[in-house]
Chains A and B, each alone.
Chain A
């Protein structure tokens, strides 16, 4: 009950609460006056009957009669006394037993409860709120985004029209404001004009309305809209969004990038100015079985290997690491260097077999489009006949049916990509496909971040969740695009050189030892120096580009600030 004083304070701030309390107090005063009057009358009536009692006994008798307790130890003998007893008894029943509890509930208890729930579900943000992020729907992206914002100490408010839902959100620690998304007043109450960002995470129709309404209140706040359909991109831009994230397309592309099939070119996954970050598998190339140090990649292409994936696990590479069939390289370098790498690798382990895509929804079709660009053949397995296009590339049927998967060519597929929007189904299908093809590469989509590790355990080689990918993209808009998510929980990010490190040689900074982040590049006046030597002095005002897990990034921020 440690919240009681706070609740009481909140309760007292409501104007109607003070009025209620005054009414309650007046009623209690009337009651006290009545009890006193009865005690005095008792005293004189008893004296008239010849009985002597103290003043206190008068109060004692009045209360026992009014409360209908009636001990019966003190009684009147005269008719006048008994008539008086009846009056006291009846007024006791009415004022003490009926009106008092009612007044207590009406004027105190009910408003108290109301104030308590109002505190959990405010209708406006506190005075002085600024630099906050407004999230219009608590969807899977918002789940990941709010965690991330809380982590970075950035204030946020989730908008929710339903009080009950809002209360549930409040109870799990989400900061929520109650209000309708299509009302101008809501955005005023949210202080939208002082917000850092508005994130519209509803469906495409609702988002359009939301963005229009928020724009009416504030013409220049940045608004990010998350859209499902490609056709909505223009509409949401017209409505006033400054950024439109076509998330199914982004997710489909991210999954396709990690899918083996076709040739082994480096797939670019992020950009920092002229610096490109790319990934490339080594299976089937002459690099397999070699030590990273012997690969001569750097001499031949100029690229730097900044990390390696080993069965879904990211590692900062050691020179004596052996490149195995499950290894994928994370490379950093310029466009020309990437091109050189692709030229080197384009002839090896080229697969003609199709990639089997499970699920023909938006994400599945985006995977197919990305594979088309790489000239990789594919087959989509789709349960719903109306979603499947009339073409040989679509196989209609349940992916949990072995015969359907065989028709799609799973037996000699290059890889499988599981893309449905139901995490439970994806876990089941990943496990099922893993049992049919123990060596196949399986790439799986999760909707919620929390199912990522389950999908890994079910046998997926690479997993990306819709939630964290979307949250990362929104976060990039907020922080001006300084983070590239390589995979769940792994990022490349940019940071100005911390004051504590300026002027010191890179090797002395112990960034890797103390935080787990590794320096990929140094950017001085827009000039990117990839893999700077350990003795380079870190100039003031320059920027570091680092790679590390979310945890490592947090440690870096904690230790050196941003």
Chain B
């Protein structure tokens, strides 16, 4: 499964306005709500926050991959955004975060959920890709860069 199948331009927020970890989470959940992908956004936000409490999803190098499972998200969907001013995220390496990918899905999509998470994480390990994503000015730019990276 390709990430670009989980992401559409209407789910990409460039730039993100939130100035804190929690504000970023709320902002991306809101993006999904607007698109009509969630039946109960508050419940989804709760699941994402609960996950964040166990271990921070700031995986280092300025990337965070918050995620959660809730049946209020009827199918596996992703939202992403670029924060122009890096935001503190309690990341593994302590560095603030620029790229945020939010993944939510129902309890039943456990296997696909893990695969998608692993895939995002693998892709954003490439330094050049992170730089190009952070430099994207529009959702279409962002998606085009991601699609190109996935096809190679």
Residues of A within 8 A of B (CB): 262-263, 265, 285-287, 296, 299-300, 336, 339, 342-344, 346-352, 375
Contacts and interface: CB of A to CB of B under 8 A. Distances in A.
B56 interface: yes
A343 B65 CA distance: 11
A285 B67 CA distance: 16
A347 B126 contact: no
Contacts of B118: 262-263, 265, 346-347, 350, 375
B55 interface: yes
Contact of B69 (A262, A300, A343, A352): A343
A325 B102 CA distance: 28
Contacts of A375: 115, 118-119
B57 A343 contact: no
Contacts of B51: 344
Contact of A347 (B54, B110, B111, B121): B121
Contacts of B54: 296, 299-300, 344
B55 A346 contact: no
Interface of B: 51, 54-57, 59, 65, 67, 69, 92, 110-111, 113-115, 117-122, 125-126
8 contacts: A263-B121, A286-B92, A343-B67, A343-B114, A344-B54, A346-B117, A348-B92, A350-B121
A265 B56 CA distance: 17
Contacts of B126: 352
Contacts of B67: 343, 347
A319 B121 CA distance: 31
Contacts of A287: 55
B125 A352 contact: yes
A349 B92 CA distance: 10
Given A346-B117, A375-B118, 5 more contacts: A296-B54, A343-B113, A344-B51, A348-B92, A375-B119
A344 B111 CA distance: 12
A5 B51 CA distance: 77
B50 to A, nearest CB: 9
Which 5 pairs of residues, A with B, have the shortest CB-CB distance?
A350-B121, A263-B118, A346-B117, A300-B54, A286-B55
Nearest to A341: B114
B125 A347 contact: no
A554 to B, nearest CB: 39
Contacts of B65: 347
B69 to A, nearest CB: 7
Contacts of B114: 265, 339, 342-343, 346
Which of A285, A286, A342, A347 is the most central at the interface, judged by chain B CB atoms within 10 Å of its CB?
A: A347
B121 A348 contact: yes
Contacts of B117: 263, 343, 346-347
Contacts, number: 59
Contacts of B57: 347
Contacts of A350: 118, 121-122, 125
B55 A344 contact: yes
Contacts of A352: 122, 125-126
Contacts of B125: 350-352
A348 to B, nearest CB: 6
A347 B69 contact: no
B124 to A, nearest CB: 9
B43 to A, nearest CB: 17
A513 to B, nearest CB: 34
A154 to B, nearest CB: 42
A351 B110 CA distance: 21
B36 to A, nearest CB: 25
A286 B59 CA distance: 9
Contacts of A347: 57, 59, 65, 67, 117-118, 120-121
A339 B122 CA distance: 19
Nearest to A340: B110
Contacts of A262: 118, 122
B122 A263 contact: yes
Contacts of B110: 336, 339, 343
A346 B65 CA distance: 10
Nearest to B92: A286
Contacts of A351: 122, 125
A297 to B, nearest CB: 9
A296 B51 CA distance: 12
Nearest to B69: A343
A265 B69 CA distance: 17
Contacts of B59: 347-349
B150 to A, nearest CB: 13
A343 B92 CA distance: 17
Nearest to B57: A347
A286 B57 CA distance: 9
A263 B59 CA distance: 12
A16 B26 CA distance: 97
Nearest to A287: B55
A343 B67 CA distance: 9
Contacts of A348: 59, 92, 121
Nearest to A348: B59
A354 to B, nearest CB: 12
Nearest to A285: B55
B127 to A, nearest CB: 11
Which of A262, A336, A342 is the most central at the interface, judged by chain B CB atoms within 10 Å of its CB?
A: A342
A300 B54 CA distance: 7
Nearest to A342: B114
A342 B116 CA distance: 12
A376 B66 CA distance: 23
Nearest to B122: A350
Contacts of A346: 114, 117-118, 121
A344 B67 CA distance: 9
A193 B127 CA distance: 67
A268 to B, nearest CB: 13
A458 B80 CA distance: 47
A262 B67 CA distance: 19
Contacts of A299: 54
A503 B54 CA distance: 38
Nearest to A375: B118
A455 to B, nearest CB: 30
A349 B125 CA distance: 9
Nearest to A264: B118
Nearest to B54: A300
